[in-house]
Amino acid sequence: MPHASPQTDGAWTPAQIQDVIDAHKSMPGAMLPTLHAIQDRFGHIPEAAIPIIAESLRHTRADVHGIISFYHHFRTQLPGRSVVQVCRAEACQARGCRQLESHVKAVLGVDYHHTTSDGEITLEPVYCLGNCACGPTIRVNDEIHGRMTAAKFDRLAEELTATVVEVR
């Protein structure tokens, strides 16, 4: 299946959040595993879930907010159906990622940290995907794509949108 990733409509209930927390809270250093699990399941960490997390893990709300906002990976808003990350780091720069990122932004019509108006794709920067001999590299959900070109990206973007039409 292309570009596989758990798609979610982001819907959640406090009881579901509590279930996820309870499955992780006995781990030493439970905060990051818990936040990951919530985001993996609901696509984001809803602001309204922060008090529940804080209460269960015995932190203040401010602490939990501070932790979520510290890490680039965590998000409190539901992203588009696909998250596209463009590697901006040096090894990809040496292989033309600056031109690629301009192209990607132009094609999608959004800047980093934004979602296309149709809600399909959220664009994010990333600093290294460990594919440094075969860049430029982008990540689409959990798939890595190397030797990316403008033409290859256009096909990919089309596929991402086409998949959605099929599903509906």
Question: Which residues fall within 8 angstroms of residue 17, CB to CB, at 6 or more apart?
Answer: 38, 42, 46, 49, 52, 53
Per the CB < 8 A criterion, the answer to whether 146 and 137 are in contact is yes
Per the CB < 8 A criterion, the answer to whether 163 and 3 are in contact is yes
**How far apart are the C-alpha atoms of 31 and 59, rounded to whole Å?**
10
Min separation Cβ 129 and other proteins, Å: 5
**How far apart are the C-alpha atoms of 131 and 136, rounded to whole Å?**
8
**How far apart are the C-alpha atoms of 78 and 149, rounded to whole Å?**
28
When the beta carbons of 118 and 154 are compared against other proteins, the nearer one is: 154
**How far apart are the C-alpha atoms of 42 and 75, rounded to whole Å?**
11
When the beta carbons of 30 and 150 are compared against other proteins, the nearer one is: 30
Min separation Cβ 153 and other proteins, Å: 13
Min separation Cβ 128 and other proteins, Å: 5
Min separation Cβ 164 and other proteins, Å: 22
When the beta carbons of 61 and 72 are compared against other proteins, the nearer one is: 72
When the beta carbons of 4 and 11 are compared against other proteins, the nearer one is: 4
> Which residues make up the interface to other proteins (CB under 8 A)?
28-33, 35-36, 57, 66-67, 70-74, 89-95, 98, 126-135, 137, 139, 142-147
